[in-house]
Amino acid sequence: MLSLKKSLVFLTSAALLLQVSSVAIAAEEEIEYVPLQEEVLNPLGAASVWDASTQSILFKLRNGLTGKVTVGSDKYELGTQVGSFPASVQLDGTTAMIPEDEDFIKTVNLQNASANILDIAHQPPASTIKVKATLETEASEQKGDSIDDPSVWIHPENGNKSLIIGANKKANPGGIEVYNLEGKRIGAYGVGKMNNVDVRYNFKLNGKKVDIAASTNRTTNTINIFVINPQTSELTEVTGNYLESNMEEVYGFSLYQSQRSGKMYGLITGKEGEFEQWELYDNGNGKVDGKLVRELKIGSVTEGIVADDEYGKFYVAEENVAIWKYDAEPSGGLLPEAKIDTVDGIRLTEDVEGVTIYYAKDGEGYLIASSQGSDRYVIYDRKSGKYVTTFMIEDGVIDGTSETDGIDVQSFGLGDEYPDGIFITQDNTNVEPDGSIANQNFKIVPWEDIAEGAKKKLKIENQNPRQLKARK
């Protein structure tokens, strides 16, 4: 990537000689500008977001100190102190550029090195186990980069009738696709280029509780919402009005069902680091409408996002930087609470794509992230954020996975074949037994294979996603 550093020249008039045949003379002062996030904050492991409402970059250093830089102003805030740049902060496209100031940069570096509060845990080196997929879904009907993100829906009475709902970015018909637990495609809904999909339960619509699947639609730049019929396994679209995003192109997506307020939210990420939180509600006409309740801009491209409904948090993967932890309530502010891990090639290798939550009992469980650049999946403790282990899906009767986009995990039993739940992942390169390349698909690993393969056995606990509760 070419550096964004550039010189902006400011002319200050030294004098104007108002005489015939005189020449106006201007003295030039050259001020060097640098991108604040890319060249100052990101290398330090600091957190930063763009606040569109104030045209400001808000940041948090590793010692917990917060700061603020505002476009058009030569002032900056660092904790309780206010300082001055030699000129005003500028905006180059979507990039905040600050005048290069040795005092500011030195102070930020010293403060950042003084303590480590932002990083939730000191992460150890990676250790990797190997597992094999036992099932794969039918390949996509479209060639190229089509299959993206899966989500598992649990049938309320019969786990064998549970479904895999996947997003397809090739809208012909593409859209949302539905598979049974044998991997057979049993439904396809060509509503557009769908990117990420998520499922939640007990949403109040038309006076009764229903299960919904929702997804980002890159064709219409909206959130699309479907009701899942447990009797027929069919989806019915219930997308209402007011669900069109303000960002240039929607990308990642997660649902968040608050255990505190009972409200349902859609969380969207964008290719420029945008984030929007939408409250979803019954519009009284059998459809679901939404209203934007929070927005911010993270430093760079983000896709993977997942909400922890019990703890009221969400995790977002800034693909080449870090995994961040945020308060998921709309009043939760703009800056992250903590950093789970850094994308430094040790445990996480860019791009970091999918993220998902394994719900165990009593608030225990795991956060899992796909490290696309290393074809690995990284597991962290859900409560402490501490690194647990890494696994990869190697070739077996079914081929292994590579360059994964979306993932999902389900701890609840899925009938006879998967009594301890599953891990499901997108496979970028789907290799047939004869070595030929097929279209993309999803691969499934029984959770117990991962849990029992770890050096220290992981939890195997059936947590019903319909019975979550608020936790601290």
Whether residue 390 is contained in a domain is answered as: yes
Whether residue 471 is contained in a domain is answered as: no
Do 150 and 234 have their domain in common? yes
Rounded Cα–Cα distance for residues 341 and 70 (Å): 28
- Choosing from 64, 87, 113, the residue where a domain stops is 113
Do 200 and 237 have their domain in common? yes
Tens digit of each residue's pLDDT (9 = 90 or more) over 143-164: 999 999 999 999 999 999 999 9
Do 181 and 108 have their domain in common? no
Residues 187 and 163 sit within 8 Å (Cβ to Cβ): no
Do 86 and 150 have their domain in common? no
Do 100 and 170 have their domain in common? no
Whether residue 32 is contained in a domain is answered as: yes
Whether residue 120 is contained in a domain is answered as: no
- Domain residues for 70? 6-113
- Choosing from 69, 86, 113, the residue where a domain stops is 113
**Distance, CA of 26 to chain centre:** 50
Task: Give the Å distances, CA to CA, from 81 to 68, 100, 336.
Answer: 11, 19, 21
Q: Rg of the chain's alpha carbons, rounded to an integer?
A: 24
How many alpha carbons fall within 13 Å on the CB side of residue 323? Answer: 33
Do 181 and 266 have their domain in common? yes
Rounded Cα–Cα distance for residues 25 and 31 (Å): 19
Return the pLDDT at 29: 61
Q: Where residue 204 sits, what CATH number does that domain have?
A: 2.120.10.30
* CB neighbour list of residue 20: distance below 8 Å, 6 or more residues apart: none
Per DSSP (E only), the strands in 309-421 are 313-318, 322-327, 338-342, 352-359, 365-371, 376-381, 387-394, 407-410
- Choosing from 113, 141, 160, the residue where a domain stops is 113
- Taking each continuous run of H as one helix and of E as one strand, the counts in the chain are 2, 36
Task: Give the Å distances, CA to CA, from 447 to 95, 208, 347, 391.
Answer: 42, 33, 21, 12
Whether residue 386 is contained in a domain is answered as: yes
Task: Give the Å distances, CA to CA, from 148 to 52, 164, 299, 315, 348.
Answer: 30, 13, 23, 19, 20
Q: Is 437 left (phi over 0), alpha (psi -120 to 50) or beta?
A: beta
Do 100 and 192 have their domain in common? no
Do 238 and 312 have their domain in common? yes
Rounded Cα–Cα distance for residues 30 and 89 (Å): 15
Whether residue 67 is contained in a domain is answered as: yes
Q: What is the 3-state secondary structure (H, E, C) of 150-214?
A: EEEECCCCCHHHCEEEEEECCCCCEEEEEECCCCCEEEEECCECEEEEEEEEEEEECCEEEEEEE
Do 52 and 154 have their domain in common? no
Query: Starting from the edge strand earliest in sequence, which strands make up the sheet with 352-359, in order?
Result: 128-132, 387-394, 376-381, 365-371, 352-359
Whether residue 343 is contained in a domain is answered as: yes
Do 172 and 87 have their domain in common? no
Do 386 and 424 have their domain in common? yes
Neighbours of 140 (CB within 10 A): 24
Q: Where is 50: in which H helix or E strand?
A: strand 47-51
Whether residue 320 is contained in a domain is answered as: yes
The DSSP secondary structure of 113-124, one letter per residue, reads HS---SBSS---
Task: Give the Å distances, CA to CA, from 40 to 64, 103, 253.
Answer: 16, 13, 29
Q: Where residue 40 sits, what CATH number does that domain have?
A: 3.30.457.10
Rounded Cα–Cα distance for residues 146 and 167 (Å): 8
Do 105 and 133 have their domain in common? no
Q: Where is 3: in which H helix or E strand?
A: none
Structural domain total, the chain: 2
- Could you tell me the pTM of the whole model? 0.91
pLDDT-flagged residues of the chain (< 50): 1-28
